[in-house]
Structure 1
Amino acid sequence: MDTEAQHTERDRSSGEEERSRSARVSGPEKGPDAASGQTSEQAPDGDEPGGVLTWRRTGLIGLACMVFLLLFSHFVLQPFLVPSSSMEPTLQVGDRILVNKLAYRFGDEPRRGDVVVFDGTGSFLQEQPAGNPVTGLLHDAAAALGLAEPDETDFVKRVVGTGGDRVVCCDKKGRLSVNGVPVSERYVMLGDRPSNVPFDIVVPDGTLWVMGDHRSQSSDSRDHLGQPGGGVVPVEQVIGRADWIGWPVGRWTTVPETDAFDAVPDWTGGAGHGHG
């Protein structure tokens, strides 16, 4: 018997079995989904490979961001689109100011010279304008993000008198005075008089006398003297203080403060009604 030939045949068959076994091990593993043509490496329906977020997750993240922005705007810092020229030159038409809603939340109250945003219902407007509730809700959301003009009831003006102040215009030199002290209003639009309408009023406690910086283009406390409320704005109607101009980029800055009222003392003549 040729033992060397037998060994050769045995070695050849063993090598072929090893190669066949290696091919089976290294080839793709097929599970229960083999009949459908799906391998174990394929992702199930609805999931994208590589851990990419699905459209559902993206939508949820977008919704969460929107809710956060709305809450932040409602309680902390709200963008406000300036719709008119009544506050020029301090604020321009189209400016988006950032209204600090925490400015008066912890005991502080508006001071003379502050630029404030307030709800004029009951002072500048006697009734809430009627409208479609659905479109109104969408508009409010857009306005809260500074993407639309503010509500018809929202106004931005400068505080000229606070509760108890006597505000008079104008003296013999054409100046406005507060508590008997003439005020140098350098923020007023160049060429405007402090007021074309004479007035003499003592601001009731808990309210504000407000005026625009562009006096000839501003409808403010002066225009509502003969109406219910007397033109003054209740402090609780103040939404916040305008602290920054956030847009356009070329106007990024803080809203300038003024020292015009630094010399004004508290009024000691007592609170009361407006005169004349």
Structure 2
Amino acid sequence: MSTSTGAGERAATGRAGGEGGGRAGRMISGAAVALGCVLFLGGFGWMALVYRPYTVPTGSMTPTVDAGDKILAQRIDGSEVRRGDIVVFSDPLWGDAPMLKRVVAVGGDEVACCDKQGRLMVDGRPVDEPYRLNTRDPASPMSFSARVPRGSLFMMGDNRATSEDSRLRLGDAANGSVPRAAVVARVDGVVWPLGRAAMAPRTGAFAALPGGGPSAPGPLRTGGAAIVAGAVLILAGAAYGPVADRARRRRAV
């Protein structure tokens, strides 16, 4: 009689412990899913506010970005742009579609090409440009010289042999430059195809000039990390409940 009673008490205790463990597991699972949703949806919402997606239309910026690449560009004001930045802009004189180029000179700069070593010159200083395609070739197949008007930017592609940029518009009143107000975003990273997904590299090529190098990277890494962490928590939290229940049933047997 006492043996039966002891076994019943142990069984009741086991059930109570299992129910308590089940409640704790469900709470942990729910908390993980809830936190994951906050991070996942919050990250997506934040990225949608900060970034604009674009598809690169041509190969004029190869090898930095290729035709067909999907990129994210941070929404900025043109006043924030610095030399070396890769920007998206829209100017009626350049056509209706958004254009993607690198800023090589800003208002007040004298930009020319090329010196005896084939380098770009900005305010009389040579600029080594490691981001160019075919760095053994001169920085431009055509010679040019221009002074950039105040409030404007001189644009060039990284693939200088094929890029239609400020060099082809030197005859206009702005010496081929684009108003800062035409800039709508700064490229921060490639997101597709996955094999090329990466942050857009910043360059120190213009660091010796007044104003220093390019702008600091935007929050793409932080936003991406929040989205990934949220997805992991959602999946882990959703899987925890069934796995824990199965483990409790096995222990009960």
Band the TM-score falls in, shorter-chain normalisation: 0.5 to 0.7
In 2: Cα distance, 1:109 partner to 1:162 partner: 11
| Corresponding residue to 1:93 among 67, 70, 73 | 67
Number of the residue aligned with 1:48: none
Deviations 1:208-238 (A, max 9, x none): 0000000001000000111354311100110
User: What is the correspondence of 1:1-276 to structure 2 with a 5 Å cutoff?
Assistant: 76-101=50-75, 103-104=76-77, 109-122=80-93, 124-125=94-95, 152-190=96-134, 191-265=136-210
C-alpha distance in structure 2 between counterparts of 1:235 and 1:72, whole Å: 24
Gaps of 5+ in 2: 1-40, 212-253
Q: Distance in 1 between matches of 2:194 and 2:101?
A: 23
CA contact (8 A) 1:166 1:200 kept: yes
Q: Which has the higher contact order (CA 8 A, sep 6+)?
A: 2
Q: For 1:226, give the aligned amino acid.
A: G
Q: Answer with 236-245 or 172-181: which moved more.
A: 172-181
Verify the 8 A CA contact 2:107 2:150 in the aligned structure 1. yes
SS at match of 2:181: helix
Compared CA separation, residues 222 and 116, structure 1 to 2 (3 A)? same
Q: CA RMSD in A?
A: 2.3
Distance in 2 between residues matched to 1:84 and 1:185, nearest whole Å: 20
Q: Secondary structure at the match of 1:159?
A: strand
CA distance in 1, matches of 2:138, 2:59: 16
How far apart are the structure 2 equivalents of 1:227 and 1:204? 12
Q: For residues 232-259 of structure 1, what are the alpha-carbon distances to aligned partners after superposition, in whole Å with 9 as ceiling and x for unaligned? A: 1100110110001111111121000000
Question: What amino acid maps onto 1:100 in structure 2?
Answer: Q
Shift of 1:153: 2.4
Amino acid at match of 1:171: D
The letter of the residue matching 1:172 is: K
Quick one: distance in 1 between partners of 2:138 and 2:100? 20
Q: SS of the counterpart of 2:195?
A: helix
- Amino-acid identity (%): 45
Counterpart residue type for residue 210 of structure 1 = M
Asked whether the equivalents of residues 192 and 215 of structure 1 are also in contact (C-alpha less than 8 Å), the reply is no
1: CA distance between counterparts of 2:122 and 2:65?
24
Aligned partners of 1:201 and 1:218: how far apart in 2?
A: 18
The count of residues paired between Structure 1 and Structure 2 equals 168
> How many angstroms apart in 1 are the aligned matches of 2:107 and 2:172?
19
Q: Which amino acid aligns with 1:96?
A: K
Q: Which residue of 2 aligns with 1:56?
A: none
Mapped to 1, the partners of 2:117 and 2:195 lie a distance apart of 37
The CA deviation at 1:157 is: 0.3
Q: Return the structure number with greater helix share.
A: 2
**SS of equivalent residue, structure 2 residue 167:** helix
The structural deviation recorded for 1:121 is 1.3
| Superposition deviation, residue 72 in structure 1 | 7.2
Q: Give, in angstroms, the shift of residue 109 of structure 1.
A: 1.7
